[in-house]
């Protein structure tokens, strides 16, 4: 773990941590690059076309959802479902205070490894992670036990990956590392340079597939009959009561916004309702921030200026 921490690379996402004051509406900004650009794109479009004062506030998924419920924030730019199903159930279904944008981006989730290391060490299946001889190759700190990146601390998907590790049994052969995204990708970069296998939680769309030749580990098709994942907020005994011994279900990424906007800012709500982008756009936004070293607001400004036809479709023109 110390080795991974030493490989940390700070990636500035251009987020604002200070509460927005006296804004017409406030956009939540999660920690990952594409979401930051999405919020900046929305900000640019609303300010340029409606003349609104749009604030930005960084926050975790639970914080943004709760803030939308109270209308202290109005937008979550990228909700991953079913990862955040418990939050969706509470605020969209039960409370009825949050609305889901129906235009989704289909995503794939799982565990990844570079193709070169997969072929060299015959690590192709999720069941290979229960082989101590193979997982020992993933040891970066010399303690004899390999590491796998389960995800960011506190993320809903990280909880599911912990359940998956228990369900498949590789929690007995690997240490599940929970660190921020930049630390993970610094560790991946180090493993690539040292020609050492490194397995990590991954998803598409994502810029990492443009940087390295990455492959998913194979695993059984999603089985809804045995898949039961409970978040820590839902039950203190969540891990013991959960099971996920098959692949992830098809995942969708969709914007969500506070229902109160439909009365308070109906024109803004209509734009958010119409908002639609592709997986390719999301990947390019992330790539521009992380690899191109551009700030999210710069990426957003340039994209809006160069894609007025898409923006016009959101405006209903």
pLDDT (tens digit, 9 = 90+) per residue, 257-273?
A: 999 999 999 999 999 99
Residue 2, pLDDT > 80, answer: no
Is the domain of 196 the same as that of 261?
A: no
Residue 14 lies in a domain: no
Domain hosting residue 66, numbered range:
25-105+252-315
Last residue of a domain, one of 241, 267, 292: 241
Is the domain of 236 the same as that of 161?
A: yes
Nearest to 60 by CA among 155, 151, 160: 155
Residue 282 lies in a domain: yes
Percent of residues, the chain, with pLDDT higher than 90: 81
Can you give the pLDDT at residue 183? 93
Residue 208 lies in a domain: yes
The total number of structural domains in the chain stands at: 2
Last residue of a domain, one of 190, 222, 241: 241
Please tell me whether the overall predicted TM-score, pTM, comes out greater than 0.95 for this model. Answer: no
Percent of residues, the chain, with pLDDT higher than 70: 93
Residue 11, pLDDT > 60, answer: no
Question: What CATH number is attached to the domain comprising 76?
Answer: 3.40.190.10
Is the domain of 100 the same as that of 51?
A: yes
């Amino acid at each position: 773990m110390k080795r991974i921490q030493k490989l940390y690379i700070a990636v500035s996402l251009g987020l604002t941590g200070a509460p927005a004051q006296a804004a017409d509406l406030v956009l939540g900004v999660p920690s990952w690059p594409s979401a930051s650009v999405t919020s900046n794109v929305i900000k640019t479009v609303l300010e340029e076309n409606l003349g609104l004062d749009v604030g930005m506030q960084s926050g975790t998924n639970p914080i943004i959802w709760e803030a939308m419920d109270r209308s202290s924030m109005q937008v979550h730019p990228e909700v991953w479902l079913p990862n955040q199903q418990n939050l969706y159930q509470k605020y969209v279904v039960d409370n009825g205070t949050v609305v889901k944008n129906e235009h989704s981006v289909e995503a794939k989730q799982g565990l990844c490894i570079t193709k070169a290391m997969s072929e060299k060490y015959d690590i192709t299946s999720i069941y290979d992670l229960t082989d101590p001889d193979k997982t020992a190759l993933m040891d970066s700190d010399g303690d004899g036990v390999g590491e796998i990146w389960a995800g960011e601390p506190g993320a809903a998907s990280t909880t599911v990956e912990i359940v998956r590790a228990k369900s498949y049994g590789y929690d007995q052969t690997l240490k599940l590392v929970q660190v921020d995204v930049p630390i993970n990708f610094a560790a991946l970069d180090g493993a690539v340079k040292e020609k050492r296998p490194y397995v990590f939680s991954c998803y598409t769309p994502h810029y990492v597939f443009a940087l390295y030749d990455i492959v998913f580990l194979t695993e059984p098709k999603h089985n809804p009959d045995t898949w039961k994942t409970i978040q820590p907020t839902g039950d203190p005994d969540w891990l013991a009561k959960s099971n996920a011994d098959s692949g992830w279900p098809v995942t969708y990424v969709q914007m969500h916004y506070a229902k109160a906007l439909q009365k308070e800012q109906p024109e803004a709500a209509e734009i958010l309702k119409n908002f639609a982008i592709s997986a390719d756009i999301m990947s390019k936004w992330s790539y521009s921030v992380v690899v191109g070293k551009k700030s999210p607001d710069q990426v957003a400004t340039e994209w809006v200026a160069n894609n007025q036809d898409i923006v016009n479709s959101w405006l209903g023109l």
